[in-house]
Amino acid sequence: MAKGIFLTGTGTDIGKTYIAGLLVKTLAEAGKRPAYYKAAMSGNDRRPDGSLIPGDGAFVKTFSGIGQSLESMCPYVYEHAWSPHLAARFEGPQIDLEVVRAGWRSVCERYDYVTMEGSGGILCPLRWDAQHIQLEDVVKSLGLASILVAEAGLGTINSVVLTAEYMKAKGLPLKGIIFNHYHPGDTMEEDNLTMCQALTGLPILATVQEGDTTLRMDPEALAALYEEVKL
């Protein structure tokens, strides 16, 4: 039976896809048969034939070296670098939760450890017309626990605590925090980590520095964060 985890962040452009690549690569090198999945990707380039390239998936695939097909990584791929709900409104098709669930099940049937990455932060809207679907609806629907990715630098205390408190209020379990763009020995960043841990009660799972190609975390400890998927 496959195991899964959801990767969310305190906002957009904080390096969730990079961290996802590190998680998948670490598990692959430990022989865990990992895979990657994302409900919707926006801001993608086109191939010469006009088809869209799922850029986040392409990065994770190349970075981690896994053999998973790009087509299986994401059911909704958009060109505009907008929130998925807006990109879908302009480009189509609209995001269907059942399609997302079906794609997730398909990946979980073929791989052992599946990392699902969110779009932006946990409040990101995926569809906003007659139906209202937010990222948290996907997480709840799939029954996943999450890892929170955050910047190590200035301002992170506020964004980490607000995200953690929101997820707690919504009944979305968090396993811990991974801090990106960390500089060892930086007094402010070290204090940020201490304060975030103290104010949220969440463990710091790892710190990631610019250009890291390996995750400073034991592969077995990482694998233990993933929980059995209920298909």
Q: Catalytic residue positions?
A: 38
Rounded Cα–Cα distance for residues 198 and 216 (Å): 22
**150, amino acid identity:** A
Structure tokens at 98: 């059942």
**214, amino acid identity:** T
* Per-residue buried b or exposed e for 78-94, using 16+ beta carbons within 10 Å of the residue's own CB: beeeebbbebbbebeeb
Torsion of CA 63, 77, 68, 144, to 10 degrees: 90
Collapsing DSSP states into helix, strand and coil, what is residue 80?
coil
Structure tokens at 220: 């077995």
- Residues 39/8, Cβ–Cβ less than 8 Å: no
Nearby residues of 209 by Cβ (< 8 Å), 6 or more positions away? 181, 182, 183, 184
Q: Which helix (H) or strand (E) holds 52?
A: none
- The dihedral through the CA atoms of 31, 143, 180, 203 has a sign that is negative
- Residues 73/37, Cβ–Cβ less than 8 Å: yes
